[in-house]
């Protein structure tokens, strides 16, 4: 049933669509210094511009889960709808040009992106059974590059925030069109599902789903706070804002390679084993990263790249586990439920990191993030050792990591 050529084609198209469509996520973070000056923002207000997207995503994901939208509307069409709304909301900030209305626009942006990310994962799951970990690793890699893209655009030159926001909106809309026009359903698609609220309870009763979600929650405790504030961290290291933006892009963007690597590893070993490895590494770096502000700059950059590689490498595995342990007809709903709950947690760490930084410095601020992946690694061990395991071959008897 598998057609490798068609699989590669669809993987490429959908990855490009996701890179472009997810670019509004950190659009304001990339120009935060300009917005602070233009709108006279406090540290707390700056945080809320990022948090609003997280909360909007949660609202959109909850609504999508309750209505089973990810399983009732063809994924490529839902991606187009979500990308179009996100592009419009992101562009509206240029017209609004003030804090409170833009906060609402960021909330809408997050809600719209809930119609992009989960359907993309579901769509790619329909193309793969063998090699699904790798395929979803590529998808998370695309999300990672899309999230980092505003930092790259900002690093290319002294771009005013308004043209940058409009450029990102155009790219977002283009991503939705690529998904709608060039992507399709794979041979493992379960077809459209009927509206059935009872499926929520069935999904929650699945032990493997609960353990995978616990691992995902630990992962999310760390990930988005790191992504949100790493540019600010490097702004305190470099005198040039362009250098800080370029390093921030590199640190976030290298996570695409980490996602693909962990995806291949999960197809060779098990999903839980690959996720646990990544979380042990990222937790270890979180413990030390913020205390390196006085270290030589190359060391700070290299340690940041290690963190960026591992901090998102585990992400695809939680989605892959869910796609393999729940009813195929309701994979989209299960993924959206997991994502919604995980994004609620990001609000707390995104808000707390600058608060702790201002009071005690970057070391303690980043140390706050380490318990999340530690908990996630424990849950993955429970999943690997428990009575029910995700589909996949038995693990090799040794690890390549010294941290377990």
Q: pLDDT tens across 268-299, in order?
A: 878 888 899 999 999 999 999 999 999 999 99
Q: Residue 318 in contact with residue 275, Cβ under 8 Å?
A: yes
Task: Read off the tokens for 29.
Answer: 């973070």
pLDDT above 90 as % of the chain: 45
Q: Residue 209 in contact with residue 324, Cβ under 8 Å?
A: no
Q: By mean pLDDT, which of 7-21, 175-189, 195-209, 299-313 is the weakest?
A: 195-209
Running DSSP on this structure, what letter comes out for residue 386? S
Residue-wise pLDDT for 68-81, tens only, equals: 776 678 888 999 99
Give the whole-angstrom CA distance, residue 307 versus residue 309: 5
May I ask the CATH class of domain 4-186+196-385?
mainly alpha
User: How far does Cα 180 stand from its chain's mean position?
Assistant: 21
Residue-wise pLDDT for 2-51, tens only, equals: 778 888 899 899 999 999 999 998 888 888 888 988 999 888 898 899 89
What local confidence, expressed as pLDDT, does residue 199 receive? 66
What local confidence, expressed as pLDDT, does residue 304 receive? 97
Confidence band for 395, pLDDT divided at 50, 70 and 90 = very low
- Taking all residues of the chain, what is their mean pLDDT, rounded to a whole number? 85
Output 105 or 395, whichever has higher pLDDT: 105
Residues 6 or more apart in contact with residue 348 via CB below 8 angstroms: 221
CA distances (Å), origin 111, targets 24, 84, 347, 402? 12, 12, 15, 40
CB atoms within 10 A of CB 87: 26
- Domains of the chain, by residue range, sit at 4-186+196-385
Give the whole-angstrom CA distance, residue 239 versus residue 234: 9
pLDDT of 402 higher than 50: no
pLDDT of 338 higher than 50: yes
């Amino acid at each position: 049933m598998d057609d490798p050529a068609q699989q590669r084609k669809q993987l490429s198209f959908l990855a490009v669509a996701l890179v472009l469509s997810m670019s509004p996520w950190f659009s304001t973070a990339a120009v935060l210094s300009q917005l602070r000056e233009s709108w006279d923002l406090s540290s707390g207000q700056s945080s809320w511009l990022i948090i609003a997207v997280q909360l909007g995503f949660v609202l959109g994901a909850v609504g999508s889960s309750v209505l089973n939208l990810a399983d009732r509307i063809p994924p490529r069409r839902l991606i187009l709808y979500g990308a179009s709304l996100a592009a419009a909301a992101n562009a509206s900030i240029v017209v609004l040009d003030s804090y409170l209305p833009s906060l609402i626009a960021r909330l809408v942006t997050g809600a719209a992106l809930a119609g992009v990310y989960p359907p993309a994962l579901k769509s790619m799951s329909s193309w793969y059974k063998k090699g699904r970990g790798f395929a979803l690793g590529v998808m998370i890699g695309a999300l990672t590059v899309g999230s980092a893209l505003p930092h790259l655009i900002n690093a290319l030159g002294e771009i005013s925030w308004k043209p940058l926001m409009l450029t990102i909106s155009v790219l977002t809309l283009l991503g939705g069109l690529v998904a709608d026009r060039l992507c399709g359903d794979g041979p493992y698609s379960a077809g459209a599902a009927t509206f059935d609220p009872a499926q929520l309870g069935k999904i929650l009763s699945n032990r493997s789903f609960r353990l995978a979600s616990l691992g995902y929650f630990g992962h999310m405790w760390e990930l988005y706070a790191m992504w949100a504030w790493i540019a600010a961290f490097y702004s305190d290291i470099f005198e040039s804002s362009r250098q800080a933006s370029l390093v921030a892009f590199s640190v976030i963007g290298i996570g695409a390679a980490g996602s693909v690597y962990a995806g291949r590893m999960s197809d060779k070993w098990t999903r839980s084993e690959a996720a646990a490895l990544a979380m042990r590494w990222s937790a270890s770096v979180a413990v030390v990263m913020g205390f390196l502000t006085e270290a030589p700059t190359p060391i700070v950059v290299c340690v940041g790249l290690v963190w960026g590689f591992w901090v998102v490498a585990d992400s695809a595995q939680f989605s892959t586990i869910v796609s393999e342990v729940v009813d195929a007809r309701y994979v989209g709903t299960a993924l959206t439920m997991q994502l919604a709950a995980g994004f609620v947690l990001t609000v707390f760490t995104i808000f707390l990191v600058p608060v702790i930084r201002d009071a005690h410095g970057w070391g303690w601020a980043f140390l706050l993030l380490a318990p999340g992946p530690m908990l996630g690694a424990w849950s993955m061990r429970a999943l690997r050792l428990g009575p029910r395991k995700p589909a996949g071959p038995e693990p090799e008897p040794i690890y390549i990591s010294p941290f377990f």
